[in-house]
Structure 1
Amino acid sequence: MTVTSSERTLLDSIDAQEIVSLTTSLIDAGGENPGDTEEATAKVLAEHCRALGFDVRTVEVAPGRPNVFVSIGSAERPGVLFVGHSDVVPAGTGWTTDPFSAVVRDGRIVGRGACDMKGGLAAVVAAMAAVHRAGLADEHPMTLACLVDEEDTGLGIRAFVAESEQRNYTCCVVAEPTDLVTIVGCRGAANIEVEVRGRSAHAGQPRNGANAISAAARIIGIIEGSQAELDANPDPDLGPATWNVGTIAGGTGTSMVADRCVLAVDRRLLPGESAAGVVGDLRSRIESAELTGSGIDVDITISMEMPGFLTSVNHGLVTTAVQSVIDARFIPNGRSAGSTPAPNGRFAGSTPAEFTDIWTASCDGGFVAQQMGIDTVVLGPGEIENQAHRPDESLAVQQLTDSARAYALIATRIAALPGL
């Protein structure tokens, strides 16, 4: 796609220092989760966007935990939805700086949440500001949904997709860290708890009891058998669904038959799968193995579910996102986009797949795609595998600027696509 003179002006209006300033302010506001502390981050974002003249709405999902919605342009026209989150994982130990006092060094911003995902939020706001200043907002509306609790149980996204009154959106870009590679799909995830209750007895006469740990071990075997079936039937794009037994806890003493054992299990979901369906299948397998009865009972509960999604690499949103990243990164710098290396180091070919990937992580985008019916990609600054959730988490300033430019191009180009 040829970059027009008006697009060049739009790109040139994006100020890296403004993005850095907002990113550092958002980092300094904290927001560790678990901890229910997103309110300060939400306040910084809301006040900054109000000062820019944007429409800002806050919705308290739980006490002190507000979702923030920032919009520009007419609510009568469909626009691009950008999704992010205000919470960060706990700082932990091993930092060489104060994790909640951001510093800029060697062209990178260092602080908890720089990569995941305070930088992404700031880049979206910068793109919105550029579109707003250029007088293009009414023609190309944009909304940022900054949601709470993404790192834990998803309270924010669940409240958002359940809202009865929504703006009309053409598509969704989740601004999570992807190293500026367009992510077209990811598996969903479910946290499942399997509680096995048995009957205690003296270890000298174990047959007088019913050992919950032994029954739980057999359930683990059932899960492993299910995994073998999943491995044999992978999704052609996302690979197989997976099980992982993360923790096991049970028993009260060596000389006692265990009367309780609990398994905490992760189940990655393919698009179209539900946690309820997975649990139903597991219950059927346990019943078929005749594990229950004779003093053994099993309860299975779902503590968290996040759906997956998959968007075709040939979809207009994907091709637009890919080209916008290329133009944002290389055209303004005077380079040719004809044989430019893709953001992940691969070289451009003749298909969008050269610039796209599948995620092993999960994100709020699955809710948007599944429950709102909106085509979705994940695209943002930062490297999730090498920077997110680590001590001295950091993000390159240049990627912040490139992301803001790409977001502005996506927002202004998407309306021209047929069917969107």
Structure 2
Amino acid sequence: MTDAVTETVARTDRERAVCERVDAAQIVAVTTALVEAPSVNPGGTEGEAVAVLRAAAERVGATVEVREVAPGRPNLVATLPGGDGPGVMFLGHSDVVPPGPGWTDDPFAARVSDGRIVGRGSTDMKGGLAAIVAAMDALRGENLSGPVQLVCTVDEEEHGIGVRDLVGGPDAYPLHPGGYAGCVVAEPTAMETVIACRGASYIEIEIRGRAAHSGRPADGRNAIDAATKVIDIIRADHDAMQADLDPLLGAGTWNVGTITGGQGISAVAPNCSIGIDRRLMPDEDADAIAENLRAEVRRHGIDSDGIEVDIAVTMSMPGFRTAPDHPFVRAAVDAVTAVGAHTSIGGWTAACDGGFVSRDLGVDCIVLGPGDITGQAHQPDESVAVDDLVTAARAYAVLALRLLG
């Protein structure tokens, strides 16, 4: 992270009043209710959590629409009304990863301990959703020039079917026709202002050879041997990319996550499958990367002499980059410091739904949210500090007020 900001920006009486209306008890109640509505992915069970979020948003005066992307998997758009001018979008997701082992208590029985809400999804990212709702509540009655919208998608942790539906048919959603000043992805960044985010893709490779007795390996064509040559190409490309690092995002990366093959030790392997994670820089395209890999396979003669190699992109989500001097970025930085918190401008090597909103809807994005993605998210006894949720809600409210007030 760079460009550290520590000074507190003076607030107006109106901003102080909005901050005072942020209710910590409300945030705890909504976060707890969301955690206790398990929405584990895979599983396709986000419906109960979205119902909790819908009720919470309606209680604070938002109009809410849901659209079922798949059975039991609804996207949600909650709108706090404003004028016809550009609005502010807050983006989140309702699904959580499986709890896994190592919990000291029921991961879906939320509890407050030492000022922290403990439970699966508290940090990633049900606490962030609750903070957005609290900010919308604090903004009620303000004469805003545009709407404040909470967009909550399903399946962010797996294949992104929720955000793909959102950007694939935006007319099916009550998105604001006046556009948006920007989008805040409320993923946990410890309130750092993330202006650049890598994308992600899955590339699966199927290699077919020919079985033979291991006593005469020359009679066969070994798919595992061919796979090692493909991996060598991948490793060399990974190493080359690390020699030219972006100051915010580093570089793209390859990771071979799975490999299976062969039919037995005493036979030449007739098949091999490789599953690869390829992290994307904001200007990279997964299909183009896969085509380049195919060309390298051909150039090295791997796809010949009885060996066939099929390469397919099975998942891709884009990254994004927003200029550090963009008015939305500066407004977000100032809003965080205005509520007495520290922030800095930086990048994120993880991926999120914001890349789709930036690329396909043309809305400039940042990632800014409460909680620690590296220290808490996807881990046993996941937790988030109540004070951090309150800070986030106040910062969100001040940001919206400054842009729309």
Matched, 1:220 2:209: no
| CA deviations over 1:210-269 (Å, ceiling 9, x no partner) | 100000000000111212332233334322111111111111100011111111111111
Matched, 1:209 2:209: no
Match of 1:191 among 178, 196, 202: 202
Give the residue type in structure 2 aligned to 1:413: R
Change in CA separation of 1:211 and 1:116 when aligned onto 2, cut-off 3 Å = same
Match of 2:49 among 41, 46, 54: 41
Distance 2:191 2:248 in 1: 20
- Please show how residues 20-99 of structure 1 align to structure 2 within 5 Å: 20-74=28-82, 76-99=84-107
CA contact (8 A) 1:141 1:411 kept: no
Distance 2:377 2:238 in 1: 28
Give the residue type in structure 2 aligned to 1:76: D
Q: How many Å apart are 1:140 and its aligned residue?
A: 4.0
CA contact (8 A) 2:83 2:146 kept: no
Matched, 1:16 2:16: no
TM-score (norm 1): 0.91
Query: What 5-or-longer segments of structure 1 have no aligned partner?
Result: 331-341, 344-354
CA contact (8 A) 1:328 1:405 kept: yes
Aligned to 1:387: 376
Give the residue type in structure 2 aligned to 1:223: I
Q: How many Å apart are 1:188 and its aligned residue?
A: 0.7
CA contact (8 A) 1:178 1:383 kept: yes
Matched, 1:304 2:319: no
Distance 2:163 2:71 in 1: 16
Match of 1:178 among 179, 182, 189: 189
Aligned to 2:160: 154
Distance 1:148 1:155 in 2: 7
| CA deviations over 1:356-407 (Å, ceiling 9, x no partner) | 2211211111111111111110000100000100110000000000000000
Aligned to 1:109: 117
Matched, 1:135 2:142: yes
Give the residue type in structure 2 aligned to 1:357: G
Q: How many Å apart are 1:273 and its aligned residue?
A: 0.7
Aligned to 1:3: 11
Distance 1:38 1:266 in 2: 26
Distance 2:78 2:128 in 1: 14
Give the residue type in structure 1 aligned to 2:391: D
Distance 1:158 1:75 in 2: 28
CA contact (8 A) 1:73 1:139 kept: no
Distance 1:15 1:361 in 2: 31
Give the residue type in structure 2 aligned to 1:285: E
Give the residue type in structure 1 aligned to 2:94: S
Distance 1:74 1:158 in 2: 27
CA contact (8 A) 1:243 1:266 kept: yes
Q: How many Å apart are 1:2 and its aligned residue?
A: 2.7
Please state whether the residue corresponding to 2:18 is helix, strand or coil.
helix
CA contact (8 A) 2:163 2:353 kept: yes
Give the residue type in structure 1 aligned to 2:72: G
Distance 1:16 1:74 in 2: 25
389-398 vs 181-190, which moves further = 181-190
Match of 2:294 among 267, 283, 295: 283
CA contact (8 A) 1:179 1:382 kept: yes
Distance 2:78 2:384 in 1: 24
CA contact (8 A) 1:14 1:404 kept: yes
Please state whether the residue corresponding to 2:235 is helix, strand or coil.
helix
Aligned to 2:346: 357
Distance 1:413 1:70 in 2: 20
Please state whether the residue corresponding to 2:340 is helix, strand or coil.
helix
Aligned to 1:163: 169
Please state whether the residue corresponding to 1:381 is helix, strand or coil.
coil
Q: CA RMSD in A?
A: 1.3
Give the residue type in structure 2 aligned to 1:22: V
Distance 1:409 1:135 in 2: 12
| CA deviations over 1:83-133 (Å, ceiling 9, x no partner) | 00000000111111110110001000000000000000000010011111x
Match of 1:145 among 144, 151, 158: 151
Give the residue type in structure 1 aligned to 2:326: H
Match of 1:376 among 356, 362, 365: 365
CA contact (8 A) 2:224 2:272 kept: yes
Please state whether the residue corresponding to 2:195 is helix, strand or coil.
strand
Distance 1:61 1:266 in 2: 25
Please state whether the residue corresponding to 1:390 is helix, strand or coil.
coil
Q: How many Å apart are 1:75 and its aligned residue?
A: 6.7
Aligned to 1:350: none
Aligned to 1:247: 258
Give the residue type in structure 2 aligned to 1:227: H
Please state whether the residue corresponding to 1:329 is helix, strand or coil.
coil
Aligned to 1:405: 394
Change in CA separation of 1:100 and 1:75 when aligned onto 2, cut-off 3 Å = farther
CA contact (8 A) 1:201 1:209 kept: yes
Give the residue type in structure 2 aligned to 1:60: E
